[in-house]
Amino acid sequence: MAEYAGKEGFERLIGSQGRNTPGALTTAIKNKPASLLLLDEFEKASRDIFNLFLTVLDEGYITDAFGKRVGAGNLFIIGTSNAAAEYIRKLVGSGIRGEELQKSVVNFVLENAIFTPELLNRFDGVIVYEPLEGPELKKVAKLILDKYAKNLKNKGIILNVTDSLIEKLATDGYDPAFGARPMRRIVDLVISDLIGKEMISGNVADGDSIDIIPGSGKEEYKVVKKTG
């Protein structure tokens, strides 16, 4: 929601009389009244937008720039926020979990005026996502590698997704600030580049089966063609 931080962003949602333009949000709701609305990084939106959604959650409608009410009672609204991410990591690191963690995070958000109590109370629930740990990271790494292996197979290359590769990617691709997102970057840029170079050099060709051998350094990998 960072792009909706200013006045122009607010007008983009509900429209502008001066420019005689409809709002992106109000138009979308008119076309599809029963929709899922995701407010990503909601804390970055302007206070005007907070007030707008306070009305939506409380009254079930939006008033556009032309004074027309647009029914929003059938919207399923999810707001996400990274505002307390560092605080959550500290709490989890000190052993705080579950309901105690949830209460602490809500208090943190309110005490730091990230969201108002009125707005937060309008949501049916607040879910705190705890940082990913070893087993979860390996599951994510396997999903990413399996998908990449499937794409390679369509190009005629068989990639063996080994436990050692999964563990290496899970270790290299985790960043406390970004979660597991760097894993995809490693696969798309580092591993894919290595395989591409091996194909260009003629060491790997269509129909070959390959292993990716983890190196000792961070983001260090080696492509090995299986024979026999």
pLDDT in tens, 189-221: 999 999 999 999 999 998 999 999 999 898 899
Q: What is the pLDDT at residue 224?
A: 93
Distance CA 10, CA 63 (A): 12
The answer to whether position 195 is within a domain reads yes
- CB–CB of 81/120 below 8 Å? no
**pLDDT above 90 for 19:** no
**Quick one: average pLDDT of 165-182?**
88
Same domain, 118 and 147: no
Give me the pLDDT at residue 159, please: 96
CATH of the domain at 211: 1.10.8.60
Res 118: pLDDT: 94
**Domain region containing 168:** 134-225
Q: Identify the pLDDT of residue 213.
A: 95
What's the confidence (pLDDT) of residue 228?
58
User: Where is the domain boundary, 122, 144, 160?
Assistant: 122
Are 44 and 152 within one domain?
Answer: no
Instruction: Answer for the pair 39, 77: CB distance below 8 angstroms, yes or no.
Output: yes
Give me the number of domains the chain comprises: 2
Is 129 a domain residue? no
Asked if pLDDT for residue 177 goes beyond 90, the answer is no
Same domain? 151 vs 190:
yes
Whole-number mean pLDDT of the chain?
A: 91
CA distances from 186 to 36, 192, 201, 211 (A): 31, 8, 21, 16
> Can you tell me the mean pLDDT for 138-164?
95
pLDDT over 90 (residue 5): no
Q: What is the pLDDT of residues 27-84, one digit of tens each?
A: 999 999 999 999 999 999 888 899 999 999 999 999 999 999 999 999 999 999 988 8
Reply yes or no on whether the pLDDT at 6 is more than 80: no
pLDDT given at position 168: 96
Residue 128 belongs to a domain: no
- Residue that terminates a domain, selected from 94, 122, 150: 122
Contact 149, 141 (CB under 8 A): no
Confidence of residue 181 (pLDDT cuts 50, 70, 90): confident
CA 95/CA 165 separation, integer angstroms: 30
Share of the chain above pLDDT 90, in %: 70
Lowest mean pLDDT among 129-133, 142-146, 185-189: 129-133
Q: What is the mean pLDDT of residues 81-95?
A: 88
Burial of 204 (0-12, 13-18, 19+ CB in 10 A): buried
Residues 188 and 213 in one domain: yes
